[in-house]
A and B are shown apart, each in its own frame.
Chain A
Amino acid sequence: MAALKVVRSGSRLLNGFQSLLNNPRKVTCGVAATVTKHPRWYCVSHLSVQERIERKRKAALSGGGQQRIEAQHRRGKLTARERVELLLDPDSFVEYDMFVEHRCSDFGMEADHNKYPGDSVVTGQGRINGRLVYVFSQVKDFTVFGGSLSGAHAQKICKIMDQAMMVGAPVIGLNDSGGARIQEGVESLAGYADIFLRNVMASGVIPQISLIMGPCAGGAVYSPALTDFTFMVKDTSYLFITGPDVVKSVTNEDVTQEELGGAKTHTAVSGVAHKAFENDIDALLNLREFFNFLPLSNKDSAPITECHDPSDRLVPGLDTVVPLETTKAYDMLDIIHGIADEREFFEIMPNYAKNIVVGFARMNGRTVGIVGNQPKVASGCLDINSSVKGARFVRFCDAFNIPIITFVDVPGFLPGTAQEYGGIIRHGAKLLFAFAEATVPKITVITRKAYGGAYDVMSSKHLRGDVNYAWPSAEVAVMGAKGAVQIIFRGKENQAEAEAEYVEKFANPFPAAVRGFVDDIIQPSMTRKRICRDLEVLASKKQANPWKKHANIPL
């Protein structure tokens, strides 16, 4: 309805103008001095402008006609405008550049029937729960060019990105495009590059979110890849550099679109996408919910929403969540749900590198980023994928003033040739780097194991953790008892006795606590209360890194 309202208010304005035009004589008289020779032409021209405005606007809004809309619906997809309307608050969308047309004059493209007002993208700004956001929604549905990116299309996107940067508001892209507009050649490629550049400039300034709602291939994939979050719609969206046909001709692999670049592939295997949703409506409604976690820009603090969950609520279930046997797994999500406001947790990349859990929650209404090792998967060890997943999330939080809460139960880095050859040293360093450089409030809770270098990495006191807690079940040590005893007491008899001694000495929170490496040993049920209190204190934290052009994270 939002778009329609724009038309209505627009046409009201036009009506005023029209009444002026309905008295052409007066007008003619008024400007007679300059156009005396062609008074009639002048009037007709204005009338036809009016008609043309209406005709173009109607064409832009009709989305290629009822037939095309129905065809889109039959594919289980919504039109570009329907998506924008669902995403934004009712009546809040303000559209830009509805009259932009492509400028290509080759291959008969200059013909009127090959021009569509607005070209193949809808752009503008609006509100989500009252907060400003810029949006572009690509229109794969109605042009003969399959929503391909023309110079004009790119220019429209760049315009809203530039403005979003100036006012400090996020950009959401609803991607559904056939790729570069081949008829435009290098102009289309230039368009992509213009967007890429802006994606990079906006990175860390305003949150950028991509929702892939259809195919997105070739160069087009790099814009989502440069944004902060990429979400997908199951069964209808694809991301790939080259499609199955090219793959077949180059590598002779037989692969379907879905296997190559579907939502499952990218959320579980490649880690390109952060989450997938059931369908267009589910995705857009979830995006609204997600948006509420984010600050509008890097100059704004993380939002605080009205909260009904008492900040001093005790969570008795946490006192028994860590099993007594140190080798037994438990679900880190039980802890996260337990402490978060209303048990709500928006998990990022829930199906990728599941040995680490990352996502957003609220504590006493305030957005926080949560990172936790997941003992249920691969004992919660750090490996290449989990390090990269964690690092990117931590950097997002740090860039946008979102406090980071880290739950540690990590037995170390995953050993093996696969990891070493894959560069675990380089990738593990990313997580270390990200935690170390972060200056937002950092609260860490060691729930059980914090072994070896992984202990250092996981937002330890040594990396400027603001408040570091240990639960009574915490074991902060270089390694587990068995391995340690084999090294310290090599060749000695009575390994079992030595092991017991090691456990007594190191398999508890005291060695870290006596050195001040953890600030307190807390009862698990008190964790929520303590963190909420700390966040309030740390809200005014000021910390800056030394001046630099930019750091050199080991990419």
Chain B
Amino acid sequence: SSAFVLGPNCCSSVLQTFDKILIANRGEIACRVMKTCKKMGIKTVAVHSDVDSSAVHVKMADEAVCVGPAPTNKSYLNMDAILEAARQTGAQAVHPGYGFLSENKEFARRLAAHGVTFIGPDTHAIQAMGDKIESKLIAKKAKVNTIPGFDGVVKDAEEAVRIAGEIGYPVMIKASAGGGGKGMRIAWNDEETREGFRFSSQEAASSFGDDRLLIEKFIDNPRHIEIQVLADKHGNALWLNERECSIQRRNQKVVEEAPSTFLDPETRCAMGEQAVSLAKAVQYSSAGTVEFLVDSKKNFYFLEMNTRLQVEHPITECITGLDLVQQMIRVAKGYPLQHRQADIPINGWAIESRVYAEDPYKSFGLPSIGRLSQYQEPVNIPAVRVDSGIQEGSDISIYYDPMISKLVTYGSTRAEALQRMEEALDNYVIRGVTHNIPLLREIITHPRFVSGDISTKFLQEVYPEGFKGHQLSDSERWELLATAVALFVAAQLRSQRFLGNLRVSSSQQEQRRWELSVELEKGVHAVTVSRSGSTYAVDLDGKRVDVSSEWNLASALLPVTVNGTQRTVQCLSRSASGEIDLQYLGTSYKLRVLSKLAAALNKHMPEKVPEDTSSILRSPMPGSVVAVSVKAGDTVAEGQEICVIEAMKMQNSMTAAKTAKVKSVHCNAGDTVGEGDLLVELE
């Protein structure tokens, strides 16, 4: 597939489109759009906030304009500044990427008024599809299957409860202007409906400046499958097959694939045709996505239409060979589509993992921030595409989406694509921020995922107690322990090798056998190690494990062969006192290797007592305090809301871990807090 790596030759037809395009976005999508622009010989203009002035998308562009300070509403959502940037640089068209102003009809309208082409659909299509209530009515008219629900704006929480009662629980409360999971809550009873209404309207107001909400029947346990459409200004429209995006947490996609394992050709065709008919009904032009919920009986219901380039568009590019950004630019210039429906293939299989700066051990991912002290993409593996907008040294800040990259692998079969994904995740070096690679690797190797048995509830069902990292089998445990021990010995030996130092004892011979102890998760194992060349034979609980490697102790990646199996392990840290953190099978493990003597004496070392966490509430992530619901002296019940933290535009309710009196409150509404900051102390 020519679009897979976005090589220079994929734009075979040399067509005059635009001389210069401004990309009104940041991060990976801005870079992605610029790549195609460069291929098409189009000059690019980046816009950026002040904190982004040395970001990758800025360096990549031919010109860059600062459009304001860090907060998005002052920069990337600042229409005046962006319009001015377009005028100043003479950009003939604007590509909005996704998010920000991509589905803002006002922006499209004002661009048109300035004679700048908006690379996307016409204003009326954005408006019609951007409003969930209106879009549903249009969809119904276009004979698209829709979900039963209330086709109007809900006035207040009590009305929400009444409507929910009529439709029947569970219901979904969502922002009329929403998207991307923001301002969306599911309620199973009246109380949750009231709470959901409150949160959703706050989130909708802060994310979209529009707090209108609607309610519809919540289809339990569905799959999320969407159809990519592409339409021109001449009434032609195509469907470019589906993407399955069922693996989600908090209604945000985590792993996507194309095609779906679930669809048969008939269903695919039916969905594709309905999607095209909806596109035609709103005179859609450009690339767009029609999202459906599909139940276990392959009934599908229209969810919404996204009138923009979708985050997960690369997997469609992989299997169809089309460059969607190029197609959008062509269409925006007014060219008719180059392809017919029969020309659209499904070649092979593509998987996308969204790599986030998040802690997957907290609610499948709470944002984390920091500086990428080391960063290395696994692009040396064939058929791997990484769309990113960051590099080593970049900051992941609280201002923007915490996505690090989209990691896409491709294969002639699903199994091949999955195999490559596993390898790519193991070879992906990310240091300085907490990331979700442990979760991604577990998902793509889980038997249910591998067999295609998934739904939007996959994560909750597979990890009902929350994600706990990879669970080691016995043989994996031995492998991990042996690897740590071998690494320890290799490092010990190296620390005895001084170059050109004549004062090292001449009678000293390199040790060949070691008696050590290795600890993992409170289990202590006595081991003996012997060395021949670069292979260490580790004798562990009566089992022999051979570990060999080049033992390059400076490299972030440690390729090892353990009893004949090749793996890439990452050494995250190594301390003088024997602590070794290894990332193995995606998950990081804390091990400790000590000499036999040190291990025997270690039991005498005093255990330092960690603080009691049930009476202390700390911020689980960096963000800002939206509201504090208690004051010192109040009595709170277990589970009662104490305060609300907003991070990356998501509001998170912090609750009491026990029933107790509030001892002291350490934060105020409006404060910015870091991860681990003390918020409230209970007695």
Q: Which residues of A contact B (CB under 8 A)?
A: 1, 73-74, 76-78, 82, 85-86, 90, 127, 129-132, 235-236, 277-282, 285-286, 288-290, 292, 296, 300, 303-310, 315-321, 324-325, 331, 334, 337-338, 341-343, 365
Are B608 and A278 closer than 8 Å at their CB atoms?
yes
Distance between Cα atoms of A182 and B34 in the complex (Å):
81
Cβ B501 vs Cβ A304 within 8 A: yes
Please give, as numbers and ranges, the residues of chain A lying within 8 Å of B392 by CB-CB distance.
315-317
Name the distance in Å between B431's Cβ and chain A's nearest Cβ: 9
Q: Mark B531-563, 1 if CB is under 8 A from A, else 0.
A: 000000000000000000000111100000000
Compute how far the CA of A535 lies from the CA of B310 in the bound complex, rounded to whole angstroms: 51
Q: How far is the CA of A306 from the CA of B53 in the complex (A)?
A: 40
Q: Which residues of B contact A235 (CB under 8 A)?
A: 606, 608
Q: Give the interface centre of B393, B500, B597, B608 by most chain A CB atoms within 10 Å.
A: B393
Shortest Cβ distance from A72 into B: residue: B604
Complex Cα distance A521/B604, Å? 54
Partner of B598, one of A77, A281, A309, A318: A281
Q: How far is the CA of A309 from the CA of B555 in the complex (A)?
A: 7
Selected from A132, A278, A290, A342, the residue in CB contact (under 8 A) with B554 is: A342
Q: Are B497 and A131 in contact (CB under 8 A)?
A: no
Complex Cα distance, B394 from A496, in Å, reads: 32
Query: How far does the alpha carbon of A157 sit from the alpha carbon of B245 in the complex, in Å?
Result: 72
Q: Is the CB of B576 within 8 A of A321?
A: no
Give the distance in Å from the alpha carbon of A309 to the alpha carbon of B391 in the complex.
20
CB atoms of A309 and B554 under 8 A apart: yes
In the bound complex, what is the Cα–Cα distance between A288 and B595 (angstroms)? Answer: 13
Q: Is B508 interfacial (CB-CB < 8 Å)? A: yes
Closest to B605 in A: A279
Question: B41-57 vs A: 1/0 string, CB under 8 Å?
Answer: 00000000010011000
CB distance from A489 to the nearest CB of B (A): 28
In-complex Cβ contact of B503 among A132, A292, A341 (8 A): A132
Chain B interface category by residue count:
35 or more
* Residues A281 and B500 in contact, CB atoms below 8 Å apart: no
Residues of chain B within 8 A (CB-CB) of A306 are 494, 497-499
Interface pairs (18), CB distance under 8 Å: A76-B604, A77-B604, A90-B595, A90-B597, A130-B505, A131-B501, A278-B605, A282-B605, A304-B500, A304-B501, A306-B499, A308-B552, A308-B553, A316-B391, A317-B392, A320-B393, A324-B50, A343-B374
List residues 42-87 of chain B with CB under 8 A from any CB of chain A: 50, 53-54
Contact present for B578 and A320 (CB under 8 Å): no
Least CB separation from B502: chain A residue: A300
Instruction: Say yes or no: is B601 at the interface (Cβ < 8 Å to chain A).
Output: yes
Task: From known contacts A285-B576, A306-B497, infer whether A127 and B598 are also in contact, taking CB-CB under 8 Å.
Answer: no
Does B113 count as interface, using CB distance less than 8 angstroms? no
Q: Which of A90, A281, A304 contacts B602 (CB 8 A)?
A: A281
B598-A86 in contact (CB<8A): yes
Does B296 lie at the interface of the complex (its beta carbon under 8 Å from any beta carbon of A)? no
Q: Would B554 and A308 count as touching, CB distance under 8 A?
A: yes
Asked if A304 contacts B576 (CB within 8 A), the reply is no
Q: A308-B552, A319-B393, A320-B54 are contacts. A129–B495 as well, Cβ < 8 Å?
A: yes
User: Which A residues touch B555, using CB under 8 A?
Assistant: 308
Cα distance A281–B374 in the bound complex, in angstroms? 31
Q: How close is B381's CB to chain A, nearest CB, in angstroms?
A: 21
Q: How far is the CB of B244 from chain A (nearest CB, A)?
A: 36
Q: Report chain B residues within 8 Å CB of A288.
A: 576
Closest to B608 in A: A278
CA gap between A235 and B609 in the complex, in Å:
12
Residue pair A86, B597 in contact (C-beta under 8 Å): yes
Chain B residues in 8 Å Cβ range of A282:
577, 605
Contact A1 B500 (CB under 8 A): no
In the assembled complex, how far is the CB of residue A181 from the closest CB belonging to chain B, in whole angstroms? 28
B602, A127: Cβ atoms closer than 8 Å: no
Q: Are A129 and B496 in contact (CB under 8 A)?
A: yes
Most chain-B Cβ atoms within 10 A of its Cβ — which of A129, A304, A321, A337? A129
* B373, CB-defined interface residue at 8 Å: yes
B457 neighbours in A (Cβ, 8 Å) = none
Q: Is the pair A320, B394 in contact by a Cβ cutoff of 8 Å? A: yes
CA distance in complex: A131, B50 (Å): 53
Contact across chains for A317 and B601 when beta carbons are under 8 A apart: no
Beyond the given A305-B495, A331-B371, could you list 15 further A-B residue pairs with CB under 8 A, ordered by the A residue number? A1-B597, A74-B604, A76-B605, A90-B595, A129-B498, A131-B498, A131-B503, A278-B577, A305-B499, A317-B371, A324-B53, A325-B50, A334-B371, A338-B373, A365-B499
Alpha-carbon distance between A379 and B69 when the two chains are bound, in angstroms: 23
Give the distance in Å from the alpha carbon of A365 to the alpha carbon of B504 in the complex.
17
Digit string of B404-440 for contact with A (CB within 8 Å is 1, else 0)? 0000000000000000000000000000000000000
Say how far A277's CB is from chain B's closest CB, in angstroms: 8
Which residues of the partner chain B approach A341 to less than 8 Å between Cβ atoms? 554
The answer to whether the Cβ of B23 comes within 8 Å of any Cβ in the partner chain is no
For A334, what are the chain B residues with a Cβ–Cβ distance below 8 Å? 371, 373
Indicate if B29 sits at the interface (CB-CB under 8 A). no
Determine the chain A residues whose CB is within 8 A of the CB of B54 once the complex forms. Answer: 319-320, 324
* Contact between B604 and A78, CB atoms less than 8 A apart: yes
Residues of A within 8 A of B495 (CB): 129, 289, 292, 305
Q: Would you call B662 an interface residue if the criterion is a C-beta within 8 Å of the partner chain's C-beta atoms? A: no
Would you call A305 and B577 a contact (CB within 8 A)?
no
Q: Looking across the interface, which residue of chain B has its beta carbon closest to that of A76?
A: B606
The docked-state distance in angstroms from the alpha carbon of A73 to that of B602 is 10
Q: Which of A74, A85, A131, A309 has the most CB of B within 10 A?
A: A131
Contact B498 A305 (CB under 8 A): yes
Within 8 A of A (CB), among B479-522: 494-501, 503-505, 508
Which residues of A lie under 8 Å from residue B53 when comparing CB positions? 324
**Which of B497, B499, B604 counts the most chain A CB atoms within 10 A?**
B604
User: By the criterion CB–CB under 8 Å, are B597 and A85 in contact?
Assistant: yes
Distance in angstroms between the alpha carbons of A300 and B394 in the assembled complex: 42
Q: In the assembled complex, how far is the CB of residue A460 from the closest CB belonging to chain B, in whole angstroms?
A: 27
A residues less than 8 Å from B373 (CB atoms): 317, 334, 337-338, 343
B238 an interface residue at 8 Å Cβ cutoff?
no
| B395 closest partner in A (C-beta) | A320
Instruction: Please give, as numbers and ranges, the residues of chain A lying within 8 Å of B393 by CB-CB distance.
Output: 316-321
